Amino acid sequence: MSSALKPADLITVTIDGREIAVPKGTNMIEAAQVLGIEIPHFCYHSKLSVVGNCRMCLVEMGLPALDPATKQPVMDPATGKPKINWVAKPTIACFTNASPGLHIRTGTPLVRECREGVMEFLLVNHPLDCPICDQAGECKLQEQATGYGRGYSRYIEQKNVKPKRTLLGPRVMLDDERCILCSRCIRFSKEIARDDVLGFIDRGSHSTLACYPGRKLENNYSVNTVDICPVGALTSTDFRFKMRVWFLKTTPSICPESSVGVNTEVWSREGVVYRITPRRNDEVNDTWMADSGRLLYKQVTADHRLREPSVDGTTVAGAEALAQAGALLKAGGVAIVGSGRSSVEEQFLTRKLADAIAAPAWLVSRVGQGDGLLISADRNPNVRGALVTGLIKTVPEAELTELAAQIAAGKIKTVVSIGEDLTAAGLGEAQLNRIAIVYLGTHANATSAGAKVVLPTLTVFEKAGTFINQQFRLQRFAPAVPGPQGAADDLVILAGLVEAAGGGALASDIDGLWTTLASEIKPLATVTYQNLPATGLLLDASDFSDLPFPEDETLHFNPKQ
Q: Which residues lie near other proteins (CB under 8 A)?
A: 127-128, 130-132, 136, 158-165, 202, 206, 208, 240-244, 246-247
What distance in Å separates the CA atoms of residue 253 and residue 466, rounded to the nearest whole number?
A: 9
Question: Total residues contacting ligand SF4 (rule CB under 6 A)?
Answer: 25
Shortest Å distance, C-beta 28 to ligand FES: 10
Nearer to ligand SF4, 209 or 335 (CB): 209
Residues 70-99 contacting ligand FES, CB under 6 A: 92, 94
SS3 assignment, position 416: strand
x/- mask, ligand FES, residues 484-523, rule CB under 6 A, reads ----------------------------------------
CB of 42 closer than 8 Å to CB of 180: yes
x/- mask, ligand FES, residues 45-74, rule CB under 6 A, reads -------xxxxxx-----------------
* Adjacency order of strands within the sheet including 473-477: 465-468, 473-477, 537-538
Question: Total residues contacting ligand FES (rule CB under 6 A)?
Answer: 12
How far apart, in Å, are the Cα atoms of 275 and each of 114, 234, 278, 468?
Answer: 36, 15, 10, 24
What is the DSSP code (8-state) at residue 159? P
Contact between 229 and ligand SF4 by CB under 6 A: the answer reads: yes
Nearer to other proteins, 118 or 234 (CB): 234
Q: What is the dihedral of CA 469, 471, 475, 479, to 10 degrees?
A: -20
CA 338 to chain centre: 25
Residue type at position 200: F
Q: Which residues contact 226 (CB under 8 A, 6 or more apart)?
A: 172, 234, 235, 236
Which is nearest to 487 in space by CA: 461, 513, 516, 506? Answer: 461
Instruction: Please name every residue paired with 23 in a beta bridge, in sequence order, or none if there are none.
Output: 10
x/- mask, ligand SF4, residues 67-106, rule CB under 6 A, reads ----------------------------------------
Q: Give, rounded to a whole angstrom, the gap between the first and last alpha carbons of the chain.
A: 20
- Could you tell me which stretch among 172-180, 365-373, 463-471, 504-512 binds ligand SF4 (CB under 6 A)? 172-180
Nearer to ligand FES, 43 or 454 (CB): 43
x/- mask, ligand SF4, residues 120-159, rule CB under 6 A, reads ------x--xxx-x-xx--x-xx-----------------
What distance in Å separates the CA atoms of residue 98 and residue 88, rounded to the nearest whole number?
A: 19
Contact between 178 and ligand SF4 by CB under 6 A: the answer reads: yes
Contact between 427 and ligand SF4 by CB under 6 A: the answer reads: no
What distance in Å separates the CA atoms of residue 363 and residue 135, rounded to the nearest whole number?
A: 43
x/- mask, ligand FES, residues 456-475, rule CB under 6 A, reads --------------------
Residue ranges in 140-248 assigned as alpha helix (H): 140-148, 184-187, 223-228
Shortest Å distance, C-beta 163 to other proteins: 6
Which residue ranges make up the site for ligand FES (CB under 6 A)? 41-44, 52-57, 92, 94
